[in-house]
Structure 1
Amino acid sequence: MTTTPHPADPAPDGRSTRWDQHRAARRRELVDATLRAVRQHGAGVGMDDIAAVAGTSKTVIYRHFTDRQGLYAAVSESVDALILRNLVQATGAAGDDLTSADSSPRALVAGAIDAYLTLVEKDPEVYRFVVTAPLLDQSSGDPAAPVTGHIAAQMSLVIAEALARAGRDTAPAKVWGAGLVGMVRAAADQWLAGSDAMTRLELTEHLTDLAWGGLCAAWPGETR
């Protein structure tokens, strides 16, 4: 029986590829414009303000993001990537391997905490926008969960590696990573509200002291 060979896959349509690239570039431009609008008008920025800063109409924005939730998701992903990049740099790792940090374990935890607080300090309105999500229906749960979830996952990898090297069960790593991020987020929200005049470095040190009291169990031989 002779098998008829399948025809080769058709070559990509150049016009379609260029259009996809154009759409991706335009989406990035609109995300950047949204961030500028947030910084200019505050976390409670409206769609009219965003459209004005972008130099376009709300209709065009919705054409690229479907709705307000789509725009918020794109902005959130951008901020998420920034925090994760800073987190990787803070832990002294290359690429996705967060286990090769050269600094001490306590300094690694401090660096991770400071990476989160740095965004809060440098871009407070953007942070508020991501955390409070004024564009969204507030009945849909925690809008910042994807961002904090990704950060917690990265920290869990670091903790799990430390537990594994110590010959210990890595099961607590996921819970400890989530707990660390939750603690930092709650403290960051209070700090941003201006309840005290504590500096970022002071807050980082206090949170590191609190976190390290428990996390040092993952690094036997390290002092509290």
Structure 2
Amino acid sequence: MNGRDPDRRKALLDAADRAILREGPHVSMAAIAAEAGITKPILYRHFGDKSGLYQALADRHVRRVIAQLRPEFVRTRTDPRGRARAAVEVYLDLISANQNLYRFLFHRASAEDTGVRSHMTALVRGLGEELGAVLAAEQVVPDAVRAQILGHAFVGMVQTTGDWWLEHPEVGREQVVEGLVEVIVAAFISNTVG
């Protein structure tokens, strides 16, 4: 954005959010610009190009998800089941409440732009690394390498299962939560006794 007004940038991202939520993941850039009361070239000028807008939206929303998940990672150390349940529920609630935005970021933007795909992958990978570090630091998984493997596995599993669940509304949220929690807790148990 190079020296542009941060309040204006926020207003443009807010307009993009409204357009995506209203029109869905296939919203046009023209619709986003119209929602902001500007033209597409002006919209692109604020973000460099379409990729810059996608990355700004990804930063905004993926970092919000991470900020809401982070407290669940460090929640009561003595209750791995409760911790896993809380984190899974937070994630599923966030994506189900913002399905158009989720699909825009993880499907459309990532498919259209390799830079966005790499950026999203790096953000998700960072979450896996953070979870692995917590598991190792708290001795939930005593071996640091195994903790990293499990941290990434849990993040990937929850993300892809959540993606699947959005396409299968006939499956109850509680059933998805329980299935994920059972796998996570089983992994914790096998890594503390094995």
Query: How does the TM-score come out when normalised to structure 1?
Result: 0.76
Residues 72 and 133, structure 1, Cα contact 8 Å, conserved in 2: no
**Structure 1 residues 67 and 103 mapped into 2: Cα distance closer, same or farther (>3 Å)?**
farther
Counterpart amino acid of 2:52? G
Equivalence map 1:43-192=2 (5 Å): 43-91=25-73, 98=74, 101=76, 104-134=79-109, 137-138=112-113, 142=117, 144-163=120-139, 168-192=142-166
Counterpart CA distance in 1 for 2:147 and 2:52 is 32
Residues 149-192 of structure 1 deviation map (CA, whole Å, 9 limit, x = unaligned): 232122212211233x77x3211121111111111122111111
Counterpart amino acid of 2:101? V
Deviation at 1:89, TM superposition (A): 3.4
Deviation at 1:140, TM superposition (A): 5.7
**Bigger Cα displacement from structure 2, 40-49 vs 100-109:** 100-109
Residues 51 and 113, structure 2, Cα contact 8 Å, conserved in 1: no
Aligned to 1:95: none
Query: Would you say 1:211 and 2:184 are equivalent positions?
Result: yes
Counterpart amino acid of 1:215? F
Counterpart amino acid of 1:60? I
SS in 2 for 1:45: coil
Aligned to 2:172: 199
Number of equivalenced pairs = 191
Counterpart CA distance in 1 for 2:68 and 2:89 is 9
**Structure 1 residues 127 and 158 mapped into 2: Cα distance closer, same or farther (>3 Å)?**
same
**Structure 1 residues 69 and 83 mapped into 2: Cα distance closer, same or farther (>3 Å)?**
same
Query: Would you say 1:41 and 2:20 are equivalent positions?
Result: no
Residues 46 and 135, structure 1, Cα contact 8 Å, conserved in 2: no
| Runs (5+) with no aligned partner, structure 2 | none
Residues 51 and 115, structure 2, Cα contact 8 Å, conserved in 1: no
Give 1 or 2: higher helix fraction.
2
Residues 114-173 of structure 1 deviation map (CA, whole Å, 9 limit, x = unaligned): 22211111101111111113486355684531332232122212211233x77x321112
| Runs (5+) with no aligned partner, structure 1 | 1-18, 92-97
Residues 68 and 135, structure 1, Cα contact 8 Å, conserved in 2: no
Kindly report the root-mean-square deviation, in angstroms, between the aligned alpha carbons of the 2 structures. 2.4
Residues 44 and 134, structure 1, Cα contact 8 Å, conserved in 2: no
Counterpart CA distance in 2 for 1:205 and 1:127 is 22
Deviation at 1:218, TM superposition (A): 4.6
Deviation at 1:65, TM superposition (A): 0.5
Deviation at 1:212, TM superposition (A): 1.5
- Highest Rg: 1 or 2? 1
Counterpart CA distance in 2 for 1:171 and 1:112 is 22
